[in-house]
Structure formats: structure tokens, C-alpha cells
Structure 1
Amino acid sequence: MGTKDIGYGSLLMLLILVVPIMAINWKMKLKINKSLTYSIVRMLIQLSLVGIYLQYIFTLNNSFLNIAYLIVMIVVASVSTINSSKLKLKKFFFPIFFSILIPQVIILLYFNCFIVRLDNVFDAKYMIPIGGMILGNCLSGNIVGLNSFYYNIKNNENQYIYSITLGATKVQALIPYFREAILGAINPTIASMATIGLVSLPGMMTGQILGGSVPLVAIKYQIAIMLAIFIAKYFSTMLSIIFSVKKSFNDFNMLQKNVFL
């Protein structure tokens, strides 16, 4: 038995519930209604287009097309990460792109090949949804990590310079900020793994159960995807900082001011 369809009228009933929220925002002068409306409209358009597009991708199931779609997803995630971190796109694009690409591809192929044991590791049915879940978490981790790292250095510039003047190398002076950035990025995932199943039933597991899978199978998939997400997020955040540092400091080990928007 497949998942029961949701009608457009049902979706409209949910959208109606947003109206009181917008009224409260207006009354309390919370200036978020414009961004909220923009986000909802953009979500509706994007997901509708993706839904139509994915039907063709799943039907064709062409490995090259699947890989191309994944690359596009990574490019969009890289741009979104940099913009959300309020850093210069031109300076950070390639470091962030490769910091996401490398763990994303390695973990995704490892997952499809050795965990799910697919005959075709580029199968669209697995590659795109699983890749999307891993990528979405890498994006959030990189935003937190980059924000924490660069803005902590900027806000504590005197402390950083003091460490350098005492003879510390750039790496030694950056270690405290690097450590804090990694912890900030991965702590939410660690907390989520510790409470999963008790506080909430996660999306992948719920989706599989609604789709007719046996709960035990859904649980095994959820465990596997959570571990894959944690590993990819950890290394992606680490690489994003390591790769970007080379472009962010001058020859005197000082953070360049032009890295920020």
C-alpha cells in the first residue's frame, strides 16, 4: 500500500493557518512577513518544478544526468552557504564547492555501494534523495562553521594578533576558533542522534513507513543515513575552513577585510 495522496485543497488548508501568524507578526511589528511570504512562494514554485523534473529523471535514470543534477545541487548549496555566511562569493566559491563535493561524493558512493549494495550506485531513486539529505545537512553545518570561525576571529582580532605577536604560528593561533567552529557545526547532529526516536521520528524513517516499508527496515535506513550525514557534515565543515583559510589571510597572517560582504 503506497502513501495516500494529499490534495491541493488540503495544502491550501495548511497555508490558511499561516495567515494568523502573519497577523501576529504585523501586530507585534516583527518585520518578517515579507521574507516569510517570499520563502513560502519560492518553496511552492521550487518543489513543484523539482517534482515534475524528478519524475523525468527517475524515469530516464541516466547515470550522467543523475551526476549532473547532483553537481548542480552542490553548486547551489555552495552559493547558498557563502551568501548565508555573508562572505565574498568570488573568493570563497571554489574552496566551499570542493569542501562539499569531496565528502558528498565519497560518502554517497560508499553508502550506495557498501551499505545499500546497489547494482547501480548512480540509481536516481537513491542517489538524489539520499544525496539531498546529506547535502542539506552539510550546507547547514558549513554555514554555522564558517560564521563561527570567521566572525569569531573578526570580533576577537586583538586576541588573535596577540597570539601571533607572542610567536604562535597562524595554525596555532587559529586552533581555538577552528575547534569552536567544528563543535558548533556538529553538536546539533550529535544531539539529534542522541534523542532520535524518543523526541521525534525523523523524516526519512517517517517517509518510508508512510510509503509502506516495514518499520524495522525504515529504522535501519534511518540509522545509516544519520551516520552518513554526521560523517559528511563533519568533514565538509572541516574542509571548508581548511580550504578557505588560504584565501582569507595575507602574507602577515592577518585576516583580510575583503572576505566579508
Structure 2
Amino acid sequence: MTIDISWSALGLFCLVLLIPVFINWRFNLALGKDIGISLVRMLLQLALLGVYLQFLFELNSLWINLLWLTVMLLVGASAIIGKAKLPRKALFFPVLSGLILGLSPLLVILLLALLKPTPAYSAQYLIPLAGMLLGNSLSGNIVALQRLFSALNEKTTEYQGYLALGASRQQATQGFVQSAMQQAFAPVLASMSTVGLVTLPGMMTGQILAGRDPMVAVKYQLVILIAIFVMLSISIATTLSLSIRVAIGQTGLVKFGINKTNASTA
């Protein structure tokens, strides 16, 4: 049995937000505006999402579900590029392609082969699964893109040296790509290695609080963690491979990197 939370109790709990507000003031972090905007957006977006998901679950239309999934992918790709402070127009296709190639096969496997909801496109399963996979892929892709283009910016001479020695574009950028991928995978690998000992994942916690058997919750959490790692691997590999093609022309020159100019155009 799930214990409901009254709106009044939720409002009182929100008073704990005064703690980070005080910390921001005490340490002069100048994050007041960002904190305020983030909290207001979180409140409005979650409230609208709750209302919309109720409608979505009742309607359960294949085309509306796919439309919502498309919106999630577009917003996710835009958020990755914006946070990485890179040119949106140039890298939107590589990032979106990485998310689509990472998400699509996993959703097919989860919905058609593993969970088998009826119908297979059930919004109750499709939307939350897509949201968890996409949400956990954002930070990894941001880190990967930032590390790749920062390295290319800072070590342009090294990259040009490889080209001068006869290396292909792929060979000259291989070390940069490897380093970016290693750093992007580090957080998720650390999370996987400490799950159950240091951390209790959100999905598992939610199911336990909802009264589900802990072993059932464990099975679902294992599926989600494996799917997240696989999607992250596919999306980052695809995004970096396509981004290299976009960022480095036939001349071998790096067209852009992470700097103030690109931040303003992102």
C-alpha cells in the first residue's frame, strides 16, 4: 500500500529548501537566481507532467506516445549541447542520432521481449522507461563532448603533429575520444560498483515504498541499470564519432572547440 502525501505536508517539507538558500547567501555563491528559476521550473514542469501523464495513460495512443517520445529526444539533445556550450546547429544531428540509436533498440527489447505490457506501446511503461534512460544519459554525453573538444582545443598542436606524421583523422583523434569516453563512463561505473552498499537507486526505492516485494524491485533495478549503461555506451560512441566528422573538415582543421564564442552561439 502506497502512503499518500498531502499537499499541506508537501508544502511544509519544502521549507527545507531554506537550507540551500542560506548556504548560497552565507558563502556568497551568487546562485540565487539560478536556484529560484530551477525550483519554479521544477514545480511547474512536474505539476504539468503529472496532469499530462494521467491523460496520456488513459488515452494510451501509439501516435501520441511516439510524439511525446520525440519531444523528449529533441529536448534531451538540445539540453546536452547547451550544457556542453557547443554550437547547437552543428552538433544537433550527431547528438540526436546518438540518443536515438541508444534508446530505440533498448525500448524494443524491454517492451517486446522482457516486460511485455499490453499493449506493447503502453504509456505506463514506454514513457517512464524512456525518461529514465534519457535522463541518465544526459550527463555522460555532456561530459564526453566537453572533454573531447576541450582536449582538441588545448592540444591542437599534438593533433596536427599526428596528421603531419601521416595519421588519418580517426587515428589522430583516437586518444582524445578514448579519454573523453573513459571520463564519461567513470560516474556510471562508480555508481554500478557501489549500488546496494553506498546507494539505493531511486526506482528500487520507489517500488519498495509502493509496497512491492524487495526482490521484484531488485530485478527491475538491475534491468534499468544495465539498460542505462548500454544506452550510455551506444549514445556516447555514436555522438563522438559523428561529432568528430562535423568538427573536423577535410583539411584536418578543428572547426570549433569549447570557448566563450561557442558558449554564446550554443
TM-score bucket (shorter structure): over 0.9
* Structure 2 residue 236 is matched with structure 1 residue 237: yes
Select between 228-237 and 4-13 the one with higher mean Cα deviation: 4-13
The residue number in structure 1 matching 2:252 is: 253
Equivalent residues in 2 for 1:10-159, closer than 5 Å: 10-159=9-158
Q: Counterpart of 1:257 in 2: which secondary structure?
A: coil
- Deviation digits for residues 184-223 of structure 1 (CA, Å, limit 9, x no counterpart): 1122111111111111210111111112211111100000
The residue number in structure 2 matching 1:200 is: 199
Instruction: Return the alpha-carbon distance in structure 1 between the equivalents of residues 194 and 81 of structure 2.
Output: 30
Q: Counterpart of 2:117 in 1: which secondary structure?
A: coil
The Cα shift of 1:24 comes to 2.8
The Cα shift of 1:258 comes to 7.4
Which letter does structure 2 place at the counterpart of 1:79?
Answer: S
Unmatched 5+ stretches in structure 2 = none
- Deviation digits for residues 41-68 of structure 1 (CA, Å, limit 9, x no counterpart): 1100000001100000001111111111
Whether the 8 Å contact between 1:109 and 1:121 is mirrored in structure 2 is no
Whether the 8 Å contact between 1:164 and 1:173 is mirrored in structure 2 is yes
Instruction: Return the alpha-carbon distance in structure 2 between the equivalents of residues 14 and 253 of structure 1.
Output: 56
Whether the 8 Å contact between 1:25 and 1:33 is mirrored in structure 2 is yes
Which letter does structure 1 place at the counterpart of 2:163?
Answer: I
- Deviation digits for residues 159-203 of structure 1 (CA, Å, limit 9, x no counterpart): 111221122111111111111111111221111111111112101
Number of aligned positions between the proteins? 260
Whether the 8 Å contact between 1:66 and 1:122 is mirrored in structure 2 is yes
Which letter does structure 1 place at the counterpart of 2:21?
Answer: M
Select between 151-160 and 78-87 the one with higher mean Cα deviation: 151-160
The residue number in structure 1 matching 2:163 is: 164
Select between 74-83 and 112-121 the one with higher mean Cα deviation: 112-121
The residue number in structure 1 matching 2:185 is: 186
Instruction: Return the alpha-carbon distance in structure 1 between the equivalents of residues 208 and 19 of structure 2.
Output: 32
- Deviation digits for residues 201-257 of structure 1 (CA, Å, limit 9, x no counterpart): 101111111122111111000001100010001110110111122211122111103
Which letter does structure 2 place at the counterpart of 1:165?
Answer: A
Instruction: Return the alpha-carbon distance in structure 2 between the equivalents of residues 88 and 174 of structure 1.
Output: 20
- Deviation digits for residues 122-149 of structure 1 (CA, Å, limit 9, x no counterpart): 1111100011000111211111111111
Aligned-pair Cα RMSD in Å = 1.4
Percent identical among aligned pairs is 36
Runs of 4+ in 1 over 4 A off after TM superposition: none
- Deviation digits for residues 86-128 of structure 1 (CA, Å, limit 9, x no counterpart): 0111111112111101211111111111221334321111100
Unmatched 5+ stretches in structure 1 = none
